Amino acid sequence: MHLNIDLYVNATTNGRHDPNSVHPCGQAADISRWRPVGETQWHFFKNDPETATDFESIMAEELGPSLHEAYGPDWLYHLHGMTADDVTELYATHQDHVHISVLPER
């Protein structure tokens, strides 16, 4: 996949994550900012939820059926059902970055 942007990935298998997270097995990344290739100015998702949503939509389109989860400041996608408590917690913990996870290869 080639998006023609630089991404700042602040967590993959590192960091603190929910016990059910797919981060430890290398299937998720948390991305906090982006910039067009060759530019110096970073665009932070925390300050621009609309851009975060646009980015999540692009990732959903690019990853297609491999997409497992996409969470951010204004948008949640989860392949499996979630409770209202799950949604509340995910919004609270994903205000400054976008979380993308993929299904394992088959």
pLDDT number for residue 79: 63
pLDDT, position 100? 92
In this predicted structure, what is the pLDDT of residue 31? 93
pLDDT at 20 (0 to 100)? 79
Q: What is the mean pLDDT of the chain?
A: 84
How confident is the model over 59-63, as a mean pLDDT? 86
More confident residue, 23 or 76: 23
* pLDDT category of residue 28 using cuts at 50, 70 and 90: very high
Residue 9 — pLDDT band, cuts 50, 70, 90? very high
Number of domains in the chain: 1
Read off the pTM.
Answer: 0.82
Look up the domain containing 64 and give its range.
5-102
The set of long-range contacts for 21-30, using a CB threshold of 8 Å and a minimum separation of 24, is 22/68, 22/69, 22/101, 23/101, 25/104, 27/68, 27/101, 27/102, 27/103, 27/104, 28/68, 28/69, 28/99, 28/100, 28/101, 28/102, 29/99, 29/100, 29/101, 30/97, 30/98, 30/99
pLDDT at 29 over 90: yes
